[in-house]
Amino acid sequence: MQHTGENPEAFDRLRSLGDFWQTANYIAKRKKRKEFTAKHPGPKLKTYLNKQFGFSLDYDSELVLSEKPLQPPLVFGKRGLLGLPGIVAMVDDTPDGLKLENSEVPVFRRLEEMLNFSDIAIHEKETIRLSDGTAANYFAFSLKHKKIELLAAGVVGFKEKKMINVTAFSHHFTPPAQLKDMVTTLKLKEMPLNR
């Protein structure tokens, strides 16, 4: 199997691990789990920087497949080799009168339109402060994509007249805290908007 993506080493590691998992006995798998956990305490992060809209976010470098083509308002998208987890960023005009605490509503509409998500149900919602001090609307939710149930987390921040959203999604067994950690890396105060 050939891979010509952005991170061939990650693909080779995944293929090797998949081969091992299919052929190893229970004791070998248990030993490998312990070794892997000890060697990999957390993800290695890359930073996506959007100079046009003046924001950045960090994402797991193992997310190697790019969403293509990106149709506005999508400006960024990455997925794991098997399609999950995934992370997307959208920049849209802020609707007149929209309050930050209700900003998930237009995001959900866009996710349904652009990524074919359905059956969206909020589980948690709160106003938070991002690491740069910006107020943001955080929301954890479940959804379906092609009849597959997924968990997701999103965050929205306002910058001038733009609404910047980061949404992460994965299998239902992914810890919700991991998804929250992904989306709350959004930073809006690092640079001004390019004009």
pLDDT, block means (10 residues), the chain with 195 residues: 60 69 70 63 83 94 84 93 90 96 96 91 96 96 91 96 96 86 91 56
Do residues 30 and 24 make contact, with C-beta atoms less than 8 angstroms apart? no
Do residues 108 and 118 make contact, with C-beta atoms less than 8 angstroms apart? no
Which residues, 6+ apart, have CB-to-CB distance to 24 below 8 Å?
Answer: 32
**What is the C-alpha to C-alpha distance for residues 157 and 25, in angstroms, rounded to an integer?**
48
Which residues, 6+ apart, have CB-to-CB distance to 179 below 8 Å?
Answer: 85, 140, 151, 152, 153, 168, 169, 170
HSE toward the beta carbon, residue 79, CA cutoff 13 A = 12
pLDDT score for 1: 45
Question: Which residue, 8, 113, 149, 19, is CA-closest to 65?
Answer: 8
pLDDT score for 33: 65
pLDDT score for 44: 82
Quote the DSSP letter at residue 71. Answer: P
Find the helix or strand (DSSP H, E) in which 50 lies. strand 45-50
pLDDT score for 3: 47
Residues constituting the chain: 195
What's the whole-model pTM score? 0.77
Distances in whole angstroms, Cα of residue 154 to Cα of each of 13, 170, 174: 29, 12, 15
> Looking up tokens 């810890």, which residue turns up?
175
**What is the C-alpha to C-alpha distance for residues 111 and 67, in angstroms, rounded to an integer?**
14
Which residues, 6+ apart, have CB-to-CB distance to 69 below 8 Å?
Answer: none
β-strand 162-171 against 86-93: which pairing, if any?
A: antiparallel
Find the helix or strand (DSSP H, E) in which 35 lies. helix 26-39
